[in-house]
Structures are given as C-alpha cells and as structure tokens.
Structure 1
Amino acid sequence: MTGSDPISDAVVAGSAAGELGDAINASKRKKRDRYSVFEAPTPAGVCSNCSTKLSGPVCHSCGQTADTYHRPIWDLLTDILDGLFGLEGRLWRTIPPLMLKPGKITQNYLSGVRARYVMPFRLYLTASVLFFLFVFALDGIGGGSDTPDVMDPEEVAAIEADLSDMEAQLAAAGVPEEQRASIARMAEAGVEQAQLPPDLPPEVQAMQEQANRDEIKRNFRQALLPEDYPPEDVAAAAGEDGPIAVGDGVTVDTNGLDELPLEVRRALVDRTDRIIDSGGATLAAEMQRWAPTMMFFMLPLYALLLAGMHFYKKGYFFYDHLVVSLHFHAFLFFLITGLSLAANIIPGWIAVFAGLGWSNWYLYRLHRTVYSHGRFTSLLRVAILDIVYSILLSFGMLGLFIVAVMMS
C-alpha cells in the first residue's frame, strides 16, 4: 500500500466496500450522552471490541465503529433502514447517474471509486424490493374496472344466430353429435354469463361462478384423465388435436400432456383444481413467491452472456460482467417501476415505447462506456443481447409458471 496516511489506507483496505462511509457518517450524528448500566470494557479512545487504540471514528484493526449505541430507539431504526437501503446519502448519489449516465457508476466502481456509491448487490436488492412490492403487493397500477360488460339484446340475438349457423356447419362437416353438444353448451354458457346484470345478488353470482369453475375442471379432468371417464365424455371434452374448452371461447392445448405418467397427470389435475377454485389466487401467490428467485438467477446468466461476447478481450473478469449485470438489472427495475407510475398520466403505449427505447439506449451507452466499443459493434451487441436474453427470459417465465403450478 502506498500513501502518506497508512492508518487511512488500513481502514479502507480492512472495511467492506461502501460500509466505511456508513460507519463514519453514523459516528458523526449528534447523540446525547445517556447513562447506561452497560459500560464499555475499555477506556475512552480504545476500541471496545479488540482493545486497539483508536485514531478516528472507526477502528483500523477490526473495522468496528466507535459508538455505544446508547441513544433513542428511532436512531437505531434509522441505522437499520440505512443499512438496508443506503439512505445516508449514497443512494441519492447513485440513482441519478445510474438512470441518466449509463455505465458511469459501473466504470467508476470497477476502477476503484466505490465508497460514494451503493454496493451493486445492495442496489439491486433495493430496486427489486421496490419493483416487486409495487407490482405484487400493491397489485400494480390501473387495475381497471371491476364492473362486467353486459351485452344488449341485439348483440345476444346476433350471437345466438351465429351459434345456430355454427352448429349447422359442424353437422355438415361430420362432427359427432356429442362434440357438437359440448361446443354448444360452452358457447351458451358464455352468452348467459354475458347477459347477467352487474347488480345480481352475491349468492347468485357465486353460484354462477362456481358452475363455470366446475365445468372447466370437468373438461380438464376428462382430457387429462381419460381413464376415469367413458370414451364418449372424453371425446366431447377434447377433440383430436387436444384443446380443452375452458369457457368464454378460451381453449387450452394439451398436446403432450396426455402422454405423461398417470400419477403426474393426477397431480397436475389436482393442482389445477386448486388454482381454478381459488380463481387463480394460488397460482398468482406462487408466481409472486418465486419471481424474485427467477430474476436472481437471470443475473449470472446475463453476466455469462457478457463474458461470452468479450472472451477475446484481456483484463475483463466474470466479476466485472456481474457488476454490469447488477447495475443494468437495477436500472431496469427502477425504470419499469417509474414508467408504471407514469402510465397513470400518459398512454400505456407511450410508456412501453419509452421503456424499450430508454433501456436499449442505456445498454448501447453502457457498452460504449464500460467496454469501450465502437458505435457499430455496440449496436450489434445490443441487438444480440436483446434477442438472446428475450429467449432466456421466456424460458425463465415458462419455468416460473411450471413451478408455480406444481407448488399451488
């Protein structure tokens, strides 16, 4: 180590990145002297942890702050929040350049300028906590109206005429009567549901919703567990291509599922029943539970993509790419959260295009700043990362859905 102040160098070297600034700032807070029966085992000016003589607010030997913590409880709560979110000023010195100067804090951090910024992993946790709290706990923004749309008599009459024509066409095409009856039954149930007035008594609405759920569960069971039903019922529930009618014109393709082992299909049907009975609440709860984990595993995958695109350049380590990944994902979380809030006052399509444009511009500038690429190679890398990461994210969402279904 070099420098004219070896004690300061020892403090910096012996403290975790970013924690020194918190400790010094905490020690500078004005505290009232309070009597406590718990006295320090060492005299003033000596570290109570390792008995080293202090030369500043932080012990240069063990890194402990020279603080007795004998102060009002709200001061301790402030320290806890500061430890979680870096509220002692570093968070506000980090977010503006993170959002507006792509790659600046990443390059600074990797170059050794670290104490003034929130640590990358803590920054990612702060951004992800705010994002998932906003999206899940607060149920997003602009959930829409809960009042159902009701068809007028002319629309109902037109749909009924179309249903009659469809039944005649199915008969002319040679579709079996049982299957035609199942299709007509589901279509009529959709029309009846659309005709229900919004001010029905809760008991009637509950009965109608339960009837619809029972119909959906029956069709799933008939298609996935044909061993438990007569052949004609199975044929009525699923055609040759395997789609299951789940009401309101919606179908679910079961291609391949009917080839799974019987016990697996029984477990899948049981979990599907629980999801349908809860109105999707159990599925949503499990997706909320596992979504942060899924995104956490995307961090090293993105870092691997960056490493693969720079394998020929010396001087870059996986740690460097991981810091880039942490900063980029923290930026994305902050961006999506902010645009979701802005979607209340601006059209949704503007928010979407702004998010896509800003994130791709950010990634372009990040390559220019951190990796010193040219304009064309930066654009090329942005395009490749967009495509590959979208594919990985799609597989991640599919895995999240499967895990959520099996855990429901």
Structure 2
Amino acid sequence: MTPSHDAVHASACENCQTLLQGGFCHVCGQNAHNPLRSFGHAVEEVFESFWHLDGRIFRTLRTLLSPGRLANAYLAGHRAPYVAPLRLFVILSVLTFFVAQLTLHFGEVKLPKPPPTEDGKANLVAAPDESGITFSKQTTVDAVIKERDQMLEGLVAARTTLPPGLGFVRERMDQNIFATQRLARERIAQLQPDHPVLAQPDRYPEGQPLPEVPEGSLISIGGKPFDAETNPVRIDWLPDFANRWFNKKLARAEKNVPRVTQEPELFFTRLIGSVPSALFVLVPVFALLLKFAYIETRRVYLEHLVVALYSHAYLCLCFLAICLVQAIGNLFASDNFWAAIPHRAVIIGLLAWMGVYLLWMQQRVYRQHWIITLLKFSVLGALYFMMLITALISLVLTTWVNT
C-alpha cells in the first residue's frame, strides 16, 4: 500500500523518486520528512545531523565513563549502539570550550596601589631604587631637590623609551612626574617654608601636557627602534614576501601589548576558542605515538586513532565538568579560604582522575602488564606534554598577533 501523502510526508522519495515504505527511503536513505514543510522537523534535523542527540549519545557517554570500555566495544565491532569517535570528540570539544568561554574569566589587570607614607597618604612616587628612599626621609632642602631632580631625570628618560603601544604606561609616568614635583614642594615647605625654590614654577606644571618625545619600541634593530617599514627585522634566508608578512605580524603584536594588558578577557576568550583547532592536530599525532609505542600489537593506525579520539573526548568531558564546578564556585565566591575548599577539592580530584583514567584505559585496551603499561604511559605522557606546551605557546603567540 502506498503511504498517504500530506504536506510533510511525501509518497515518493524526493531524491530518487522511489516509492516510500517508511520514514526513510530504502534505496538512498533520505528522510521522508520534508524539513521545509515543518519547523519541528527542521529543528529535529539540525540536532540529528550535528549533535545526533538520540539514545546513543547517552549510552555512549555512560560507557565512556568506564576506562577503555567504549574503545574496546567500538574496536570489537559494536559500533551501532554508540556515537562514532570522531563525532563524539567534535561534539564534546566544541561544547566544552564554548562553556569554558562562558565560565572561566580573568578580571581587568590592575596596577598595584602605591604604599602609604608615614602620614597615611598614598605615596604616588615609586622608590628610585631598592633602598626605599622617600622625600620624608630627607632632612635638608638641598637633599630634597637633588632627589627630586634624579627622580624626574629617570622618569623622563624612561618615558622616551616606551613604544607606541604602551601609552597607558606613559600616562602613569606622567602622573608620577607631577606627583614627584608636588611631594617635593610639600617636603620643602615643611623643612623651610620661606625657601626661594617654592616661589619658582615647576619644571613640568601639573595639568599641562608634557613635552612630546620620540616614541621607542619594545624591539630594537641595530640600536634603533623597530619599525615594520623603516627599520624591519630581516631574516636573510626568508623571501621578501615572508619577511614583510613577519614584520607586519610583529608590529601587530607590539601594538597589542596594551590591549592584552587592559582587556585580558578578550585575549583569553579568543585563546580558548582556538584550542579545539589545536586538538584536531594533536589527536592524530597522539595516535601516531600510540602506534609506535604498541607497534608489536600489529594494530592499524586507525585503531589507535579511535583510542586517541575517545581518550581526548573523555578529557574534554572532565574539563567541561571542571568549568561547571568553577562556575558553581563563582556563584558562592567568598574571600574565606575554607569556604573555597570544597569546589577546589573537586577540581583537583578531577585533574588527578584524568591521569588515572588514561592509564587505566591504556591498560584495558592494549592488555599489557601494568609495569609495561606504566612505563609506556610515562614516556607517551612526557612526549605529549611537551607537544601540548609547544601547541599552547603557539596558540598564545598566534592569538596575541591576531587579536
């Protein structure tokens, strides 16, 4: 009997025109539901194609909690009940680092407050050296003037070396220059109220802009400040276009110094968002390490890749749990050390369990003696840790340049 035709269910497959006998075409496999005719089916298709949130995802996650059980089942041919390893890894990695962007935060970087002076007021002038000399310790006007001039000379000299991107530091130096003069006058007035120097104007009147000075650079080339156009970095063995690209990125990184300092949240968010891309490179490399470590098992590379994908999927799951625990801890944030112990203990426990899980999984999948497994696990862990650190450094530099 030909199925009834309505606005949502067609009587024949719209792809190959085969008469339908159920919810899917038995020739090409296309769904009989037309997502363009029903909003509900359209939403269902989105979830099914990307997340595939049917009973398998929950069965897969439940099985994944047991070290090595899911990988062994999949390698043994029991693939239908579970989500494929690559799809599971993609889902968990994207979800995990999306949640990480929402739950992990870094506040604004604030410069430390200056220490109070003897009279309880904030001392806006940093000590000129580690001896902690201040104007309050000077007992003569000449000593105050000498100390003031040394401070001003040092601050003005340092101000001229700042690169364009560190304008906010220059503003703090300007404040210190004005404060140096003000506090020096206050000290002179305490020592000798009628001293002639009090009738003279300050070298840098407060409230007026300081003299313009040439801006420096964080990088010097040939004793001169770096400039992508006039004084670039030149690597002889690179072609001209590569040197131009490198100098462009270097200039961008230098300009991003104040952005990263003033907006660490933006930098951190973009850094976290780029981690899944790095994992797509690290996972195949980890599978290659497993191949070399267990070459005597004669397993093909794709079998090791399955183990790598499921192990990284579990690590993403643990990191997701850490993010959620941290978010819950932030809701009950307290300055009390003891109040923060429970959620910190959970996070430390999850981090410790991640290593135990991976060791246990490796032993269950490859079925070698615990001592041999531990030895291989240690070597693989050390190599992978070095690769992970390298990848993180590369991510930080890439994010810094492209922020």
What's the offset of the Cα at 1:268?
Answer: 4.7
Contact 1:102-1:362 at 8 Å conserved across structures: yes
Counterpart selection for 2:38 from 64, 72, 77:
72
Residue 395 of structure 2 corresponds to residue 397 of structure 1: no
**Secondary structure class of the residue paired with 2:296:** coil
User: Which residue does the alignment assign to 1:86?
Assistant: 52
What's the offset of the Cα at 1:365?
Answer: 1.6
What's the offset of the Cα at 1:153?
Answer: 0.7
User: Which residue does the alignment assign to 1:311?
Assistant: 295
What's the offset of the Cα at 1:263?
Answer: 5.6
Residue 356 of structure 2 corresponds to residue 366 of structure 1: no
Contact 2:114-2:123 at 8 Å conserved across structures: no
Residue 60 of structure 2 corresponds to residue 62 of structure 1: no
Residue 224 of structure 2 corresponds to residue 227 of structure 1: yes
Rounded to whole Å, the distance in 2 between the matches of 1:48 and 1:160 is 77
Rounded to whole Å, the distance in 2 between the matches of 1:104 and 1:378 is 17
Contact 1:283-1:404 at 8 Å conserved across structures: yes
Counterpart selection for 2:314 from 312, 317, 331:
331
User: 2:289 is matched by which residue type in structure 1?
Assistant: L
Rounded to whole Å, the distance in 1 between the matches of 2:385 and 2:397 is 18
Residue 112 of structure 2 corresponds to residue 141 of structure 1: no
User: Which residue does the alignment assign to 1:150?
Assistant: 113
Query: 5 Å matches for 1:270-285?
Result: 270-279=251-260, 284=268
Bigger Rg over Cα = 2
Rounded to whole Å, the distance in 1 between the matches of 2:217 and 2:131 is 24
What's the offset of the Cα at 1:77?
Answer: 0.7
Q: Structure 1, residues 272-331: CA drift from partner, whole Å, max 9, x if none?
A: 2431353455755663554322121111011011111111112x1111111111111111
Q: Structure 1, residues 76-100: CA drift from partner, whole Å, max 9, x if none?
A: 21221232112122211111221x2
Change (3 A) 1:373 1:184: farther
User: Which residue does the alignment assign to 2:199?
Assistant: none
Contact 1:34-1:71 at 8 Å conserved across structures: no
Contact 2:256-2:401 at 8 Å conserved across structures: no
What's the offset of the Cα at 1:125?
Answer: 1.1
Residue 284 of structure 2 corresponds to residue 300 of structure 1: yes
Rounded to whole Å, the distance in 1 between the matches of 2:402 and 2:44 is 38
What's the offset of the Cα at 1:379?
Answer: 1.9
TM-score by length of 1: 0.62
Rounded to whole Å, the distance in 2 between the matches of 1:379 and 1:333 is 23
**Secondary structure class of the residue paired with 1:270:** helix
Q: For this pair of structures, how many residues does the alignment match?
A: 311
Contact 1:163-1:184 at 8 Å conserved across structures: no
User: Which residue does the alignment assign to 2:86?
Assistant: 121
User: 1:79 is matched by which residue type in structure 2?
Assistant: E
User: 1:84 is matched by which residue type in structure 2?
Assistant: F
**Secondary structure class of the residue paired with 1:163:** coil
**Secondary structure class of the residue paired with 1:218:** coil
Contact 2:250-2:401 at 8 Å conserved across structures: no
**Secondary structure class of the residue paired with 1:312:** helix
Rounded to whole Å, the distance in 2 between the matches of 1:144 and 1:406 is 21
What's the offset of the Cα at 1:336?
Answer: 0.9
Report sequence identity in percent: 23
User: Which residue does the alignment assign to 2:190?
Assistant: none
Change (3 A) 1:374 1:190: farther
Rounded to whole Å, the distance in 1 between the matches of 2:156 and 2:245 is 28
TM-score by length of 2: 0.63
Contact 1:364-1:379 at 8 Å conserved across structures: yes
Q: Which moved more, 1:364-373 or 1:184-193?
A: 184-193
Contact 1:91-1:117 at 8 Å conserved across structures: yes
**Secondary structure class of the residue paired with 1:353:** helix
What's the offset of the Cα at 1:338?
Answer: 0.8
Contact 2:9-2:33 at 8 Å conserved across structures: no
Rounded to whole Å, the distance in 2 between the matches of 1:266 and 1:329 is 36
User: 2:154 is matched by which residue type in structure 1?
Assistant: A
Q: Mind listing any 5+ residue stretches in structure 1 that lack a counterpart?
A: 1-32, 168-176, 197-210, 230-256
Contact 1:52-1:59 at 8 Å conserved across structures: yes
Q: Mind listing any 5+ residue stretches in structure 2 that lack a counterpart?
A: 134-149, 160-168, 180-208, 227-231, 237-242, 330-339
User: 1:75 is matched by which residue type in structure 2?
Assistant: H
Rounded to whole Å, the distance in 2 between the matches of 1:182 and 1:149 is 18
**Secondary structure class of the residue paired with 1:278:** helix
User: 1:83 is matched by which residue type in structure 2?
Assistant: S
Contact 2:96-2:317 at 8 Å conserved across structures: yes
Query: 5 Å matches for 1:239-250?
Result: none
User: 1:129 is matched by which residue type in structure 2?
Assistant: V
Q: Structure 1, residues 119-160: CA drift from partner, whole Å, max 9, x if none?
A: 211111111111221223x2x335458887634514966995
CA root-mean-square deviation: 4.3
What's the offset of the Cα at 1:61?
Answer: 3.0
What's the offset of the Cα at 1:59?
Answer: 3.6
Q: Which moved more, 1:340-349 or 1:291-300?
A: 340-349
User: 1:77 is matched by which residue type in structure 2?
Assistant: V
